[in-house]
Amino acid sequence: MGAWGSGLYSSDFALDMRGAVKAVARLPFPPDRLLEYLCAAEPSAANDPKDADHTIFWLTVADQFAKRGIDCADARDRALAIITNGADLTAMAALGMDDKSLVKRRAMLKELRGRIAAPIDSAKPRTVLKAPQKLLLGVGEVLVYPVCKGAPTNPYAIGKNWAWVKAWQQDGWGAFVVVERGHAFDFLAWYRPLVITEPLSDEPSLMELARPRMWLLRNPGTLTVRHHANMSLKSVGRVSIDRFKLAEFFPRRGSAVYSAVNDISLCNNINVRPLDVHEAHRVKHGYPPTPRINVLADIAGVD
């Protein structure tokens, strides 16, 4: 992180935290538990005063809670202490914020203090989820879908009279396997896809996809019933996933929390594209080869 703005939401981390609070505010839990989820999602920023984002974490959470009528004494007290003891200004100065910007930051903190110290109006109840989001896909489920130059149908653009939407014409098929799924914060559904790298000319069967071909693990994404239909996802069967083999081939699998709380659709993560150019760049600059498997049996378990 760098101190590139005096406003509370001038950093990417603050913007991410605003999105995270927006997400957890939909959960039907008391304020203290919502705070626990946020701390668990960003343990270093929440718990380590030496972390560059520590003060931003508490100031952002307290501000967003106050704006959303969530009365959390712990978040409020931590943020007020940070303002009072000057920890945030010290952190910003250490990150390189100039004197002029520090003056603006101090004024922002004064305004923020008044906002989060004011009594919380919790008379209006929050709109919350009544149950965890339904999991639409199973672990090991294999899905195929139409693509144009490797890209699936944009589910947000269905029915739009735009030239680029009209230009999309199916020229092949993509496929992915759901290797992991879950609920962020126990409520927000997500899925992690393993995607083929070369589009197929004909709609593939499960038997066809079981033959040797390269698969890459992509970032997790979310999926609604509407997006499922708009992308014409079609299940062609299921393979058993051995989680130990999965971890062996793909040891670094990032958290799905970011994708879940920011509602990043699977459509962004299932493009069918070869490695070639990107892989050559990695090798040239000394990075290890991109993890991949060359046949689904590499991560298959036994039912």
The alpha-carbon radius of gyration of the chain (Å, integer) is 23
Q: pLDDT tens across 223-270, in order?
A: 999 999 999 999 999 999 999 999 999 998 888 988 888 788 999 999
Q: Cβ contacts of residue 267 below 8 Å, gap of 6+?
A: 152, 153, 154, 155, 156, 221, 227, 231
Residue 303 is predicted with a pLDDT of 58
**Per-residue confidence (pLDDT) for residue 158, from 0 to 100:** 87
Q: Is it the case that residue 70 has pLDDT exceeding 60?
A: yes
Confidence label for 2 from pLDDT (cuts 50, 70 and 90)? very low
Spatial separation of the C-alpha atoms in residues 189 and 228, rounded to whole Å: 14
**pLDDT, tens digit (0-9, with 9 covering 90-100), for 83-97:** 999 999 999 999 999
Percent of the chain with pLDDT over 70: 97
Mean pLDDT for 194-216 is 96
* pLDDT at site 120: 86
The answer for 104, left when phi > 0, alpha when psi is -120 to 50, beta otherwise, is alpha
What mean pLDDT do residues 30-59 have?
A: 94
pLDDT at 4: 62
pLDDT tops 50 at residue 53: yes
Q: Do 15 and 66 form a contact (C-beta atoms < 8 A)?
A: no
Please list, in sequence order, all residues whose beta carbon lies within 8 angstroms of the beta carbon of residue 221, skipping any fewer than 6 positions away.
190, 191, 193, 259, 264, 265, 266, 267, 268, 269, 270
* Average predicted confidence (pLDDT) for the chain: 91
Return the pLDDT at 1.
Answer: 43
What are the CA-CA distances from residue 28 to residues 49, 120, 132 (Å)? 30, 18, 10
158-171 pLDDT, tens per residue?
888 888 888 999 99
Question: φ, ψ for residue 47 (rounded to 5)?
Answer: -110, -15
Residues 163, 225 contacting (CB under 8 angstroms): no
Q: What global pTM score does this model have?
A: 0.77
What whole-number distance in Å separates Cα of residue 244 and Cα of residue 242?
Answer: 5
